[in-house]
A and B are shown apart, each in its own frame.
Chain A
Amino acid sequence: MSSIVEHVVDRDTELETRLTDLWETPHTWLGWLSTVDHKTLGKRYIYTAFAFFLLGGVEAAVMRAQLARPDARLISPEAYNQIFTMHGVTMMFLFAQPVLSGFSFYLTPLMIGARELAFPRLNAFSYFAFLLAGIFIYVSFLIGRAPNAGWFNYTPLAGPVYDPGPNIDYYALGLLFLGVSTTAGACNSIVTILKLRAPGMSIDRMPLFLWSSLTMSASVIFAMPALTVGLGFLELERHWNFVFFDPSRGGSPMLWQHLFWFFGHPWVYVVFLPAMGMLSMVIPTFCRRPIVGHTFVALATVVTGLIGFGVWVHHMFATGLPQLSMSFFGAASMTIAFPSAVTVFAWLATMWHGRVVFATPMLFAIAFIVQFVIGGLSGVMTAAVPFDWQVTVTYFVVAHIHYVLGGGTVFGLFAGIYYWAPKMFGRMLSESLGKWSFWLMFVGFNVGFFPMHVSGLLGMPRRVYTYAAGNGLELPNLISTIGVYVFSAGIVVSLWNLIRSEAAGEAAGRNPWGAASLEWLTESPPPHYNFAHIPVVESRDPLWDGGYSSGPAFDEARLTPRTSALDAALEAPIEMPDDNLWAVVITLGMLLAVAGVLVRSYPWAIIGAVVSLFSLARWMWPTTTKVLETEI
Chain B
Amino acid sequence: MTAIEVRTDRLLPPASNPRSEVGRWGMVIFLLNEATLFACLVASYFFLGVENRSWPPAGIEKPSLPLPLLMTLLLLSSSAVLVYAERGFEQGRRTRYRAGVVATVLLGVGFLLIQAREYHDTLQHTSPVQHAYSSVFFTITGLHGAHVVFGLLVLLWALLRDITGRLNVRNSLAVKNASLYWHFVDGVWLVILTSLYLSPRWY
A-side residues, CB < 8 A to B, are 4, 6-9, 118-119, 122, 183, 187-188, 190-191, 194-196, 199, 221-222, 224-226, 228-229, 232-233, 236-237, 240-244, 246, 249-252, 254-255, 258-259, 262, 536, 538, 546, 548-552, 562, 564, 569-572, 574, 613, 617, 620-622, 625, 627-628, 630-632
Contact = CB atoms under 8 A, between A and B. Distances in A.
B47 A190 contact: no
Interface of B: 1-6, 8, 10-14, 16-17, 20-22, 25-26, 29-30, 32-34, 36-37, 39-41, 44, 47-48, 51-52, 57, 128-133, 135-136, 138-139, 153, 157, 161, 165-166, 168, 170-171, 174
Nearest to B60: A250
B74 to A, nearest CB: 24
A627 B171 contact: yes
Contacts of A242: 128-129, 135, 138-139
Contacts of A569: 10, 13-14
A630 B173 CA distance: 14
B22 A118 contact: yes
Which of B1, B14, B37, B39 has the most chain A CB atoms closer than 10 A to its own CB? B1
Nearest to B49: A250
A146 B37 CA distance: 28
A632 B153 CA distance: 35
B153 to A, nearest CB: 7
Given A195-B25, A196-B22, A244-B44, A4 B129 contact: no
A243 B36 contact: no
B21 to A, nearest CB: 8
B40 A119 contact: no
A549 B44 contact: no
Given A250-B52, A549-B2, A570-B13, A243 B25 contact: no
B16 A613 contact: no
Contact of B135 (A243, A538, A574, A625): A243
Given A242-B139, A546-B4, A631 B16 contact: yes
A289 to B, nearest CB: 20
A571 B133 CA distance: 51
B6 A187 contact: no
Contacts of B135: 236-237, 242-244, 251
B33 A243 contact: no
A255 to B, nearest CB: 6
Given A243-B131, A546-B2, A622-B161, A232 B139 contact: yes
A252 B51 contact: yes
A205 B173 CA distance: 30
A6 B3 contact: yes
A572 B18 CA distance: 11
B48 A255 contact: yes
Contacts of B5: 6, 549
B136 A244 contact: yes
Given A242-B139, A550-B1, A4 B11 contact: yes
A183 B33 contact: yes
A564 B128 CA distance: 49
Contact of B153 (A6, A7, A194, A613): A613
Given A6-B5, A546-B4, A250 B11 contact: no
A241 B130 CA distance: 9
Contact of A118 (B1, B8, B26, B129): B26
B4 A226 contact: no
Given A549-B3, A569-B10, A222 B32 contact: yes
B123 to A, nearest CB: 14
B66 to A, nearest CB: 27
22 contacts: A4-B11, A8-B1, A191-B26, A225-B39, A229-B37, A244-B135, A244-B136, A246-B132, A250-B48, A250-B52, A250-B133, A252-B48, A252-B132, A548-B2, A549-B6, A550-B1, A552-B11, A571-B20, A574-B21, A617-B157, A621-B161, A621-B166
A632 B171 contact: no
A234 B2 CA distance: 59
Contact of A551 (B11, B39, B174): B11
A551 B6 contact: yes
Given A6-B6, A229-B44, A250-B48, 12 more contacts: A4-B11, A8-B1, A119-B26, A191-B25, A221-B29, A228-B37, A233-B44, A237-B135, A549-B1, A549-B4, A552-B11, A632-B12
A249 B40 contact: no
B159 to A, nearest CB: 12
B168 A627 contact: yes
B15 to A, nearest CB: 9
Contacts of A536: 6, 11
A254 B43 CA distance: 13
Closest 8 CB pairs of A and B: A250-B132, A225-B37, A549-B4, A242-B135, A225-B36, A546-B2, A251-B132, A229-B40
Contacts of A548: 1-2, 4
Contacts of B47: 252, 254-255, 258
Contacts of B14: 569, 571
Contacts of A571: 13-14, 16-17, 20
A457 B66 CA distance: 61
Nearest to B56: A250
Contacts of B57: 250
Contact of B29 (A190, A232, A628): A190
B177 to A, nearest CB: 10
A221 B32 contact: yes
Contacts of A538: 4
A548 B6 CA distance: 10
Contacts of B153: 613, 617
Contacts of B21: 562, 574
A255 B161 CA distance: 44
Contacts of B8: 4
B40 to A, nearest CB: 4
Nearest to A184: B30
Given A6-B3, A569-B10, A572-B16, A249 B132 contact: yes
Nearest to A573: B13
Given A225-B33, A225-B40, A229-B40, A244 B48 contact: yes
B42 to A, nearest CB: 10
Nearest to A191: B25
Given A250-B52, A550-B1, A622 B40 contact: no
A259 B13 contact: no
Contacts of B36: 221-222, 225-226
A258 B11 CA distance: 49
Contacts of B131: 243, 249-250
A538 B153 CA distance: 46
A400 B142 CA distance: 41
Nearest to A249: B131
Given A536-B6, A551-B6, A631-B13, A251 B48 contact: yes
